[in-house]
C-alpha cells in the first residue's frame, strides 16, 4: 500500500466520521460527542486497522465500520482522561468537560463507548466473536493502564519498568488491538496476528515516550497542548522516573520537592524541572529509548508473511509517527 493510498483511506475515515449518526436529542448528550469526534487528530488507530486489513488482502468495506468504532472508543477515552487529568486543552481546543461540565462529559463519553460497540458489531458475523474478543480485551487493558497512571500521581517514585507496563496498557494496547483486528478481518494466520500485535505494542510504547518528550520540549502551537502539562499535573512520565533514577540524592530531593510543590508558579516549575532534565541528559536518553522500542517493533513486523512493498509502506508510515517534530 503506497502513501497516496493512505491519504485515500484517511479521507474515507474522515467522511465516515462525519456520517456517524449521533442523535440530536438530548442535545447535551450527543453534541459533546460530535464535538469530540470532530476534533481532528491523525486518526492513527482506524488507519492502522485498515492498513493491517490490506496487508492480508482484506476488503476496505469489511473493515471500515470496525475502524470507526475503534476511533470512537479512542475519543471516548480522551474525554474521560481529560477529566481525570484536569486537562483544559485537547488538540488546541477546550476539552469537553471544560466546554460543558464534568457530568456532561462523563455521560457523553459513556454514549460514545456504546456507539463504539455498535460500529464494531457491524463486522461480518464469521469474524464477530474474534473481533469483539480482541477489542474487549484491548479496552480492558486501556482501563488498567489509566488506573496505573492515576495511581502513580500519588506515588513519589515510579520505576521505569512500572511506567513501561502502564504505557504498554494505556497506549500500546489499543494500537496493537487496532492492528490485530485488521488482521482478523483480513483472515491472517494466528502467528501473523500475534506478531502484528507485538509490533503494535512496541510501537505504542515508542509513540507514548515520544508524546512524553513532546509534552515537555515541544512548541505548544504545534503540539496542541500546554508545554509541561505532565509536570504541572505531576505525571510520573519516563522523563521524571529516569531523572530520579540518575540523580544523586541531593538533586533527587530537589526534583521530587519541586515536582510536588503546589506553591510554585507553574511556569517556574516547568522551567526548573526542564533545567534538571537537561543536566541529566534526559532528552537524549528518552530519544534512545524511543529508538529501541521502534526497532523492536520492526523486528516483529518483519516476521509477517505479507508482500514486502505493503510491509515497507507500513514501516515508513509508523516511522513518521514516531519521529514527530519537537
Q: What is the pTM of this model?
A: 0.92
Domain ranges of the chain: 3-317
**Better pLDDT: 251 or 229:** 251
Give the architecture-level CATH label for domain 3-317: Orthogonal Bundle (1.10)
142-189 pLDDT, tens per residue?
A: 999 999 999 998 888 899 999 999 999 999 999 999 999 999 999 999
108 pLDDT above the threshold of 50: yes
Percent of the chain with pLDDT over 70: 96
pLDDT > 90? residue 304: yes
Q: Span 277-283, mean pLDDT?
A: 97
Given pLDDT bands bounded at 50, 70 and 90, which one contains residue 3?
Answer: low
Q: Are 120 and 66 in contact (CB under 8 A)?
A: yes
Q: How confident is the model over 100-108, as a mean pLDDT?
A: 98
Whether the per-residue pLDDT at 118 is higher than 50: the answer is yes
Peptide bond between residue 26 and the one before it cis (omega within 30 degrees of 0): yes
Stretch 124-135: mean pLDDT: 97
Amino acid at each position: 500500500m503506497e502513501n497516496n493510498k493512505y491519504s485515500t483511506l484517511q479521507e474515507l475515515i474522515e467522511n465516515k466520521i462525519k456520517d456517524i449518526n449521533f442523535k440530536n436529542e438530548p442535545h447535551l448528550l450527543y453534541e459533546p460527542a460530535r464535538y469530540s469526534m470532530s476534533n481532528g487528530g491523525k486518526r492513527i488507530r482506524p488507519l492502522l486497522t485498515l492498513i493491517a486489513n490490506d496487508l492480508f488482502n482484506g476488503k476496505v468495506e469489511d473493515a471500515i465500520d470496525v475502524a470507526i468504532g475503534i476511533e470512537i472508543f479512542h475519543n471516548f477515552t480522551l474525554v474521560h482522561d481529560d477529566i481525570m487529568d484536569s486537562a483544559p486543552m485537547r488538540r488546541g481546543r477546550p476539552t469537553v468537560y471544560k466546554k460543558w461540565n464534568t457530568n456532561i462529559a462523563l455521560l457523553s463519553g459513556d454514549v460514545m463507548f456504546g456507539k463504539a460497540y455498535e460500529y464494531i458489531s457491524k463486522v461480518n458475523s464469521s469474524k464477530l466473536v474474534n473481533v469483539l474478543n480482541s477489542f474487549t480485551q484491548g479496552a480492558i487493558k486501556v482501563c488498567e493502564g489509566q488506573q496505573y497512571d492515576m495511581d502513580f500521581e500519588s506515588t513519589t517514585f515510579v520505576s521505569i519498568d512500572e511506567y513501561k507496563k502502564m504505557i504498554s496498557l494505556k497506549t500500546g494496547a489499543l494500537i496493537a488491538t487496532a492492528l490485530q483486528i485488521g488482521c482478523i478481518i483480513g483472515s491472517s494466520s494466528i502467528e501473523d496476528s500475534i506478531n502484528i500485535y507485538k509490533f503494535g505494542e512496541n510501537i505504542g510504547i515508542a509513540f507514548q515516550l515520544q508524546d512524553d518528550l513532546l509534552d515537555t520540549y515541544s512548541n505548544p502551537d504545534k503540539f496542541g497542548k500546554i508545554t509541561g502539562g505532565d509536570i504541572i499535573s505531576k505525571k510520573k512520565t519516563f522523563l521524571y522516573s529516569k531523572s530520579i533514577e540518575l540523580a544523586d540524592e541531593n538533586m533527587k530531593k530537589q526534583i521530587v520537592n519541586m515536582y510536588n510543590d503546589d506553591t510554585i508558579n507553574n511556569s517556574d516549575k516547568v522551567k526548573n524541572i526542564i533545567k534538571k532534565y537537561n543536566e541529566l541528559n534526559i532528552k537524549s536518553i528518552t530519544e534512545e529509548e524511543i529508538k529501541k522500542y521502534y526497532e523492536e517493533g520492526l523486528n516483529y513486523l518483519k516476521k509477517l508473511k505479507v508482500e514486502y512493498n505493503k510491509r515497507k509502506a507500513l514501516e515508513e508510515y509508523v516511522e513518521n509517527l514516531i519521529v514527530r517534530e519537537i
